[in-house]
Amino acid sequence: MPITDLLERNSKLYGTEVALVEMNPEIQEQPRVTWKEYELIQPTASAPYRREITWSVFDEKANRVANLLISRGIRKGQKCAILLMNCLEWLPIYFGVLKTGAVAVPLNFRYTAQEIDYCVKLADADVLFFGPEFIGRVEDIAGTLGRERLLLFVGDNRPSFADSYNEAVANCSSTAPKVLIEDTDDAAIYYSSGTTGFPKAILLDHTALLQSARMEATHHLTTHDDCFLCIPPLYHTGAKMHWFGSLYTGSKAVILKGNSPKAILEAVSLERCTIVWLLVPWCQDILAAIERGDVHLEDYHLEQWRLMHIGAQPVPPSLIRHWMEYFPNHKYDTNYGLSESTGPGCVHLGLDHLDKVGAIGVPGFGWKCKIVDESDQPVAQGDVGELCVKGPGLMRCYYHDPKATAETLIDGWLHTGDMARMDEDGFIYLVDRKKDVIITGGENLYPVQIEDFLSAYPKIHDVAVIGLPDKRLGEIAAAIIQVKEGMECTEEEINRFCVELPRYKRPRKIIFAKVPRNPTGKIEKPKLREIYCGVRLVEAQSNS
């Protein structure tokens, strides 16, 4: 069954029920309401910072998008890129693309103009939907994208180089297009990357998306009565595939534009959210706000909140113990996954394993796992090796990259590049990563890109970027800089130079020191971690 069938089913079964709510705490048109006052304005009215659509309207909007694309010549198998901040339009556009039989290509909203250009072209995208936040970046590359690509601006006051999505879609039919979509048809391309430059394009089919929806609902016991709070960006497989649990059960979800403790607690309270997926920094911020007295839990309606789960980065066990002091009735889960495995859940802790916090868990619904050595042979229990996963959510391939595909998919197993071990109960613990990706606040940083940028500074002789542990973000990027002989350089100079980088890519720590390289010229990053993280890799493995 293609994933679009779930939307059409929900429209028929739950047409008048709310499917999606968008909440924007940044809008301050009038004083905010309490949860008791909020009850009085639902469902006949909305707060000024709230928009909603029902399942039937959701499906109708998706149909309009599909018919618009078909009228512009888009056919089955073609690619349509989506570059939007989280908003109520995001998912109807995504499903409208899928209803044409085309392939949806979500783009990271942090991408630079050059990265947008690269990813649109790598995916062979014929259409780019983009929002007002990206006018400058898209304008910079509009000429290089070529006239053959359709640029659709989602918002008011369209720029001259794009067509208006709002005007175009308004005149399109709300009836579903007659396009036959098979389970094995290509559905989406998501971007990921290792440590070597621009992202790889990960091709997923409808079988993989449906597997993710079933898995999410199964793992978290999602029912039609649940309400999921979605905070992370929808371009990410984590956010999208967790929301698929709501799609699978026809239950309401809230898209929150903002992640402050007050905004999160207010959304949970006002919308009666029952399931919330958080990143480690957001958990830490909520706990800190409670302890500072910035928020008071008694001011919110939180009794219905039953599950808090975390993914995207290692989770300190102490954080969950601290969380349970304030939310003792919460169930907890952690989810491990990759875009190559259709997002989170190919390994998960489960709702009743607080005694195993620190592990990423056991194989998820429909998945198999193994830990292998360099010869691809299973290691002994307790030994460290590379984690491999196999299941119905595996990617088809890296699009246009058969070499990387062959290196990653071997005999039906996805080699994750993550080093792990398994305990006597079958629970898997991550130990280290083969790759040098730095995960900061749930986002991947790619050291080579930052190193290449810094290398252009005239005073720098050599540079290496590594991740340092950080309680709030998991890791931060640190740049070890070797200054050219006879020159002097300051941290202030480097920080000024890095202003041209997107904020999340800027090194948080600058260290002036010699950059060690081995005889073949490779940077010895394990040695740097040993020096600056204060922990030997071997010791870290044996103590995990």
Give the pLDDT band (50/70/90) at residue 529.
confident
Q: Percent of the chain scored above 90 by pLDDT?
A: 67
Q: What does pLDDT average to over the chain?
A: 89
- Separation CA 267–CA 302 (nearest Å): 10
Cβ atoms of residues 382 and 428 within 8 Å: no
pLDDT tens by residue, 356-389: 988 999 999 999 999 999 899 999 999 988 999 9
Structure tokens at 336: 């491990």
> How much is the pLDDT for 536?
42
Per CATH, the number for 364-435 is 2.30.38.10
The burial of 314, by beta-carbon neighbours within 10 Å (0-12 exposed, 13-18 middle, 19 or more buried), is given as middle
Q: For residue 31, how many other CB atoms are within 10 A of its CB?
A: 7
Contact 365, 214 (CB under 8 A): yes
Give yes or no for residue 59 having a pLDDT over 60: yes
| pLDDT at residue 542 in the model | 28
Alpha carbon 467 to chain centroid distance? 20
Tens of pLDDT along 28-37? 544 455 555 5
Q: What percent of the chain clears pLDDT 70, i.e. is strictly above it?
A: 91
Chosen CATH of 4-258 out of 3.40.50.20, 3.10.450.50, 3.30.1280.10, 3.40.50.12780: 3.40.50.12780
Residue (of 150, 125, 134, 311) closest to 203 by Cα position: 125
pLDDT in tens, 238-250: 889 999 999 999 9
- For residue range 133-183, list pLDDT tens digits in order: 999 999 999 999 978 899 999 999 999 999 999 999 999 999 999 999 999
Angle at 139 between CA 136 and CA 141, to 5 degrees: 120
Sequence ranges of the domains in the chain: 4-258, 260-337+348-361, 364-435, 438-543
Radius of gyration of the chain (CA): 24
Tokens of 89: 């339009």
pLDDT at 252 over 50: yes
Please name every residue paired with 440 in a beta bridge, in sequence order, or none if there are none.
443
Question: What are the structure tokens assigned to 463, written together?
Answer: 């540079």
Question: Is pLDDT at 525 greater than 90 in this prediction?
Answer: no
pLDDT in tens, 206-231: 999 999 999 999 999 999 999 999 99
Asked whether this chain's domains 4-258 and 260-337+348-361 adopt the same fold, the reply is yes
For the four alpha carbons of 264, 266, 269 and 270, in that order, the dihedral sign comes to negative
Q: How far apart are the first and last CA of the chain?
A: 41
pLDDT at 314 over 70: no
CATH annotation of 438-543: 3.30.300.30
The SS3 call for residue 293 is: coil
Q: Whole-angstrom Cα distance, residue 360 to residue 426?
A: 11
Query: What's the pLDDT score for residue 471?
Result: 86
Q: Is the pLDDT of residue 537 over 50?
A: no
Q: Which CATH architecture has domain 260-337+348-361?
A: 3-Layer(aba) Sandwich (3.40)
